[in-house]
């Protein structure tokens, strides 16, 4: 039961991103310069690195995504944790 509550903030944050992908992203022009898109990157970063580190990586990525910035493939860094 405690495990479910500890994952609730992460699930809520990912749900907000999914709502953006489904309802908002289709009506605005595709401006993301990177692959995967910034929203997909954010979800993957949160799943791999956890909520706080994932949001940090996502924020850095979004700040890099502007018309004068670089473009191309920009995957989420892999976790250094041993499973």
pLDDT band with cut points at 50, 70 and 90 for residue 82:
low
Is pLDDT above 60 for 83? no
- Does the pTM surpass 0.75? The reply is yes
CB 56 within 8 A of CB 69: no
Average pLDDT in the chain = 90
Alpha carbon distance, N-terminus to C-terminus of the chain: 23
Whole-number pLDDT of residue 1: 59
23-54 pLDDT, tens digit each: 999 998 877 889 999 999 999 999 999 999 99
Question: What is the number of structural domains in the chain?
Answer: 1
Question: Which pLDDT belongs to residue 2?
Answer: 61
26 assigned to some structural domain: no
Residue 36 belongs to what domain range?
Answer: 32-72
| 57, part of any domain | yes
């Amino acid at each position: 039961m405690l495990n479910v509550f500890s994952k609730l903030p992460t699930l809520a944050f990912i749900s907000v991103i999914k709502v953006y992908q489904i309802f908002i992203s289709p009506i605005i022009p595709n401006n993301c310069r990177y692959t995967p898109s910034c929203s997909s990157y954010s979800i993957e970063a949160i799943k791999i690195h956890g909520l706080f580190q994932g949001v940090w990586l996502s924020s850095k990525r979004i700040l890099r995504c502007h018309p004068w910035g670089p473009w191309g493939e920009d995957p989420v860094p892999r976790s250094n944790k041993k499973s």
